[in-house]
Amino acid sequence: MRITGALATVLGLLLATVLAVTTMPGSPHRGALPPATSEQQALAQQLHRHVAVIAAQEHNAQHPAALETVATYLESELVSYGYQVRRDEFKARGVAVRNLEVTVPSQSAPGQRLVVVGAHYDSAHETPGANDNATGTAAVLALAKSLKHLGATAQADVMFVLYTNEEPPFFKTPQMGSQVHAQALRARGAPVVAMLSLETMGYFSNAGGSQKYPWPLNQFYPTQGDFIAFVATTPDLGLARRVVRSFRSHAAFPSEGIAAPRFIPGVDYSDHAAYIDAGYPALMVTDTAPYRYPHYHTREDTPDKVDYDRLARVVQGLEGVVRDLAQSPR
The predicted-structure confidence for 13-62, as pLDDT tens digits, reads as follows 344 445 456 789 898 999 999 999 999 999 999 999 999 999 999 999 99
The phi and psi torsions of 35 (rounded to 5 degrees) equal -55, 140
**Per-residue pLDDT at 146 exceeds 80:** yes
58-327: CATH, from 3.30.300.30, 3.50.50.60, 3.40.630.10, 2.70.98.10:
3.40.630.10
Q: What pLDDT was estimated at residue 21?
A: 66
115: Cα separation from own chain's centroid? 13
Altogether, the residues listed in the chain come to a count of 330
pLDDT digits (tens, 9 = 90+) for 250-263: 999 999 999 999 99
- Contacts with 19 (C-beta within 8 Å, 6 or more apart), sequence order: none
Residue among 234, 230, 228 at smallest CA distance from 259: 234
C-beta separation of 164 from 259 below 8 A? no
Answer yes or no: are the C-beta atoms of 127 and 62 closer than 8 Å.
no
Over residues 69-126, the pLDDT tens digits come to 999 999 999 999 999 999 999 999 999 999 999 999 999 999 999 999 999 999 999 9
Separation of alpha carbons 56 and 65, rounded Å = 13
- DSSP secondary structure letters along 122-152: ---TT---IIIIIHHHHHHHHHHHHTTTGGG
- pLDDT band for 5, please (50, 70, 90 cuts): low
Q: Provide mean pLDDT across the span 265-289.
A: 98
Question: Structural domain boundaries of the chain?
Answer: 58-327
7, 48, 110, 162, 183 from 3: Cα distances, Å: 6, 59, 58, 54, 48
Contact predicate 85/75, CB 8 Å: yes
Give mean pLDDT, residues 218-239: 95
pLDDT score of 240: 98
